[in-house]
Amino acid sequence: KDIILPLEQLMVEKEGYLQKAKIADGGKKLRKNWATSWIVLSSQKIEFYKESKQQASSNMKAGHKPESVDLFGARIEWTKEKSSRKNVFQITTVSGNEFLLQSDIDFIILDWFQAIKNAIDRLAKH
Ligand code: I3P
């Protein structure tokens, strides 16, 4: 019996909860507001969901779109200046959106940094 999955789902590389703060939109600075976010990494983008995974999928059916980050040409770097928290890295998109991601748990944030960096580096080769 064939199993049919949406293409999106096939491309998911990593997902889980992190602390997230968007600090700029199109180059315009935003007030920092940390919140837990469900993060979904696929080959070309990251999606941020405000809610639990389950809530997110029912909202999706209702037509709500998650915030999406285009990884083409994006930059990722650790930062100690942008937050008093530990384990913070920043993603900057070509369009000038800036996001901070954070976890208190070292191996979790390291895994995420590496996975996102790999996705960005892979895209740069194409
Ligand atoms: C911000 C809030 C953030 C903090 C930020 C504060 O205050 O406390 O958690 O960032 O520091 O301005 P408010 O809620 O009143 O906006 P960190 O937790 O990342 O340090 P910042 O201004 O130094 O970025």
What interface predicted TM-score (ipTM) does this complex get? 0.89
State the DSSP H helix or E strand holding residue 90, giving kind and residue range, or none if neither.
Answer: strand 88-92
Interatomic CA distance for residues 103 and 4, integer angstroms = 34
Whether the CB of 85 sits within 6 Å of ligand 1 = yes
**Residue 50 phi, psi (nearest 5):** -75, -25
**Are 51 and 59 within 8 A, CB to CB?**
yes
Residue 90 pairs in a beta bridge with: 77, 100
pTM (two decimals): 0.87
Q: What is the pLDDT of residues 96-105, one digit of tens each?
A: 999 999 999 9
Question: Probe ligand 1: pick from 32, 83, 98, 103, max atoms within 8 Å of CB?
Answer: 32
Strand partners, 66: none
Distance from chain centroid for Cα 96: 15
Q: What are phi and psi of 102, to 5 degrees?
A: -150, 145
32 lines ligand 1 (CB under 6 A): yes
Å from CA of 84 to ligand 1 middle: 8
* pLDDT in the model for residue 120: 96
Residue 56 is predicted with a pLDDT of 63
Cβ neighbours of residue 19 under 8 Å, at least 6 residues apart? Answer: 34, 35, 36, 37, 85, 101, 102, 103
pLDDT digits (tens, 9 = 90+) for 61-112: 677 788 999 999 999 999 999 999 999 999 999 999 999 999 999 999 999 9
Ligand 1 atom closest to Cα of residue 82: 24
